[in-house]
Amino acid sequence: MAFAKGYTGKVLRINLSSRRVSIEPLPERDAALFIGGRGLGAKLLFDEVPAGVDPLSENNKLYFLTGPLAGTISQSSSRWMVVTKSPLSGAIIRSTGGADFGQELKSTGFDVVVLEGKAAQPTTLCIRDEKVEFIDATHLWGKELDTEKVQEIIRKELGDEKMQIACIGPAGENGTLFASILNARRSASRGGVGTVMGSKNLKAIAVRGTGKIAVADKEKLNEVTKQVVAEATKTHMYEGFSHLGTPGVTALMHEMGMHPAKNFQMGPLDDFSGLSPDKLAQIFIKDEGCFRCFIHCGSIFQVKDGPYKGNPVVGPEYETMWSFGADIYNTDLGFIMAANKVCDDYGVDTISTGSAIAFAMELYEKGILSKADLDGIDLTWGNHQEAYRLLIKIMKREGIGNILALGTRRAAEQIGKGAEKYAMQVKGLEIPAYELRGAKAHGLNIVTSNIGASHMTGYCTQELFGIPEPYDRFSVDGKGALTKSVQDKTALYDSLTVCGFPAAFGWMVPETFSRLLSAATGIEEFSDVNYLIKAGERIYNIERAFNTREGFGRKDDYAPERFIKEPVPNGPSKGQVFENDVLLDDYYQARGWDVKTGIPSQKKLEELGLQKEAEELKKTG
Ligand code: SF4
């Protein structure tokens, strides 16, 4: 029987140690239960990577996945997902990238590429339809080549301008624990997915496919897609977002007191004028987007004067505006643009990098790190020239940069003297650009997120934008159930490999996903919205089961002490603390997990069809 439409029905497994390549059928039941992308990645990771595997050993596996809508006419639906065990947190990590790699990967004929083992020397994998080649990449390794250059060289060497390449930069080679993977200038950045790729001596994956994705009901898919675009483009949010993208949200977050400064010591900046939308608009050149996306949220900016004057560059996301802006008490836009480019060139996560600099700034302020410890850098708040020097040291792993390249949690352990108090991380992953104390469900999502402090596993638009309905962001009431619901929906669209933005703004809701998915695949269950929401919950729980098997539990779902004990000192969120314990109790109850331990109950796992996983957790105690 033919596999459901929308899928290719095939998994490509590549062992980098033995160079063995095999093609396996994608189990149809797994597709129906875990949809694709993030869900299938979590299922494979649970089944194939046993507890206790060193994330940087050859026993860890790296999964590249697409979803059933990738490559179809459906808009914003062709992202690529990377799933592995994170070297930064030791938990599951899933990170997603945009541009064109997702649809090209799928057109080679595979829904999933599994990478095992470790290549004997630096290698580029070239996948042309079903043909896999191992190409020596020694000349690209250790040369400090920026990621754009690497993609350009590989395309030339392979003699195909249309080849799509996902590669690591020097940071992925040198073991920086928050290295990213880039296609064009879009990256899967969080949790060290690029570090795992580097540990396998894999410099790049180049893909080129000629396959077409067949869908079950083309007319219906076109109709729903047209409707989504027509309705979204009428909204007020569309206009702003498609122009300046996520950096345009900075002013709103600042006004709400959600854009903290000085490593979360302060509420909003006293003087925000340097980062205002007007200032951004002055350096805006044009927008750009990913494959088949009408939103075009990416922006190209050019700084035309000052020390960071340069060529047009791909702009930062909102979180990067913060990590190189308010978090280090800087309002120089030129520095933010330059730092963002350096991070893309070297291939690192901008949130973890900026947070590492803010952490070092606070340690300098508190006298825990001296100027000598910082290799002569005078790291005062807002001193962007000195921050730039430190940034380069982190990229090159020189001096203090060698310690900060391990992420704030490990760096704090090495530095000692109480430094851990100032590491703004959860489960080892640095906290992104939101005041946890100022929006309780958004904060609860960040502390409970399976991958560590991520805003992308349950973005609470109800609290931040009042979409689809407003919630009192300071109240703790009902926030357990709200967080669960947002996290499960996010797990769903991540598994379709649909971008988070159309979902965040309410342009695609679960009913839309159901219509799109059933039209694309013809799988009957997908026409039931409740079935899909349950699938989201199943995916969230299998990720949590993976973490449970690794020893994670309630103790790992806490914000740093600052958020729990110190009220926000200024701005609209003034006086707020993060009521971590109260919120966790409510959340675990909403999830049907054990409240004392934060572990999914056997009953919940069985209810979700995760009997095998429940059994395994029972066995491992
Ligand atoms: S909304 Fe932005 S990030 Fe998402 S797919 Fe479209 S262009 Fe890419």
Closest ligand 1 atom to 288 CA: 7
- Orientation angle between helical segments 218-232 and 510-521, nearest 10 degrees: 150
Ligand 1 centroid, distance to 229 Cα (angstroms): 13
Confidence (pTM): 0.97
Tell me the CA–centroid distance for residue 600 and ligand 1, in Å.
33
Distances (CA, A) of 517 to 32, 220, 381: 11, 10, 49
Output the residue whose Cα is nearest ligand 1's atom 7.
289
Q: How much distance in Å is there from the Cα of 183 to the middle of ligand 1?
A: 14
Residues 556, 561, 564, 565: what is their CA dihedral angle, to the nearest 10 degrees?
160
CA of 296 to the centre of ligand 1 (A): 6
Average pLDDT of 394-402? Answer: 98
| CA 18–ligand 1 middle distance (angstroms) | 37
Query: How far out from the chain centre does Cα 542 lie?
Result: 18
> Which atom of ligand 1 sits closest to the CA of residue 76?
5
What is the Å distance from ligand 1's center to 186 Cα? 10
Q: CA-based diameter of the chain, in Å?
A: 68
pLDDT tens digits, residue range 232-290?
A: 999 888 887 888 888 888 999 999 999 999 999 999 999 999 999 999 999 999 999 99
Structure tokens at 344: 């893309």
What atom of ligand 1 comes closest to residue 99's alpha carbon? 8
Measured from the Cα of 502, ligand 1's closest atom is 1
- The side-by-side arrangement of strands in the sheet containing 62-65 is 21-25, 10-15, 112-116, 62-65, 80-85, 92-97
Report the C-alpha gap between 426 and 321 in whole angstroms. 21
Span from the CA of 454 to the centroid of ligand 1 (angstroms)? 18
Residue type, 183: N
* Local confidence band at 2 (pLDDT 50, 70, 90 cut-offs): confident
Quote the ligand 1 centre to 98 CA distance (angstroms).
7
Q: What is the pLDDT of residues 407-442, one digit of tens each?
A: 999 999 999 999 999 999 999 999 999 999 999 999
Q: Tell me how far the alpha carbon of residue 232 lies from the centroid of ligand 1, in angstroms.
A: 14
Q: Rounded CA gap, 299 and 281, in Å?
A: 10
Q: Give mean pLDDT, residues 200-229.
A: 97
Rounded to whole angstroms, how far apart are CA atoms 81 and 79? 7
- Positive or negative, the Cα torsion across 364, 365, 368, 371? positive
Note the pLDDT tens digit of each residue in 434-464. 999 999 999 999 999 999 999 999 999 999 9
| H, E, C per residue of 588-616 | HHHHCECCCCCCECHHHHHHCCCHHHHHH
Closest residue to atom 5 of ligand 1, CA basis:
76
Ligand 1 pocket: which of 501, 505, 507 to mutate (most atoms within 8 A of CB):
501
Q: Best substitution site from 81, 100, 293, 300 to test ligand 1's pocket, by max atoms within 8 Å of Cβ?
A: 293
pLDDT of residue 39: 98
Q: Which are the contacts of 584, defined by CB distance < 8 A and separation ≥ 6?
A: 444, 447, 448, 554, 557, 595, 598
φ and ψ at residue 478, rounded to 5 degrees: 70, 10
The residue nearest atom 2 of ligand 1, judged by CA position, is 297
Q: What is the predicted pLDDT for the residue at 504?
A: 87
The dihedral region occupied by 571, where left means phi > 0, alpha psi between -120 and 50, and beta the remainder, is left
pLDDT of 534 > 70? The answer is yes
For the stretch 509-528, pLDDT in tens is 999 999 999 999 999 999 99
Average pLDDT over residues 563-577: 98
* Lowest pLDDT segment from 141-145, 241-245, 337-341, 573-577: 241-245
3-state secondary structure of 186: strand
Atom of ligand 1 nearest to the CA of 294: 6
Closest to 169 (Cα-Cα) out of 160, 158, 156, 178: 178
In a mutational test of the pocket of ligand 1, which residue from 499, 505, 507, 508 has the highest number of ligand atoms less than 8 Å from its CB?
499
Q: Average pLDDT for residues 561-588, to the nearest whole number? A: 98
pLDDT of residue 239: 83
Mention every residue, 6+ apart, whose C-beta is less than 8 A from residue 516.
69, 74, 77, 221, 224, 225, 496, 508
| Mean per-residue pLDDT of the chain | 96
577-602: average pLDDT:
98
Task: Kindly give the distance from the C-alpha atom of residue 295 to the centroid of ligand 1, in angstroms, as a whole number.
Answer: 6
Nearest ligand 1 atom to alpha carbon 78: 5
Chain centroid, CA 587 distance in Å? 23
Within 6 A (CB) of ligand 1 lie 76, 98, 289-290, 293, 295-298, 499, 501
Measure 19 CA to ligand 1 centroid, in angstroms. 35
- Report the alpha-carbon distance of residue 51 to residue 178 in Å, rounded: 22
Residue 172 has pLDDT above 90, yes or no: yes
How many of the other CB atoms lie within 10 Å of CB of 430? 29
Residue 1 confidence (pLDDT): 53
Q: Which atom of ligand 1 is nearest to the CA of 79?
A: 5
